[in-house]
Amino acid sequence: MYENHLNEISEVVKKIINKRGFFNDVEAFTNILILIKNAILNLESRNTNLADCYIQFLKVGIAINNLSNFDYSSFKNYCIKKYNERYILILN
């Protein structure tokens, strides 16, 4: 499929996809999104309690904290900032 549309893809996109770290970046981002998705699904469940929500909240925070400072510093800092904004709103 990729080869069929190779001529239609811009050179910038080709460079990004061909970089070795591109798929690592996608994997790191996906891991965070999966945890957020699971947290939302947990919140929507009828048999969930506040402890379950808190555990999911902690899992998201741990995953963000475990991101590499070297490879994902700007993404990690953005996530931490947004996480802290949400956490402070929940506490108030």
List pLDDT tens digits, range 4-51.
666 666 777 777 777 767 777 788 889 888 988 988 888 888 888 888
**pTM score, whole prediction:** 0.63
Q: For residue 71, give both structure tokens.
A: 């490879």
Q: For residue 36, give both structure tokens.
A: 């957020």
The continuous run of DSSP H or E covering 32 comes out as helix 22-44
List pLDDT tens digits, range 41-89.
888 888 888 888 888 888 888 888 888 888 788 888 888 888 788 766 5
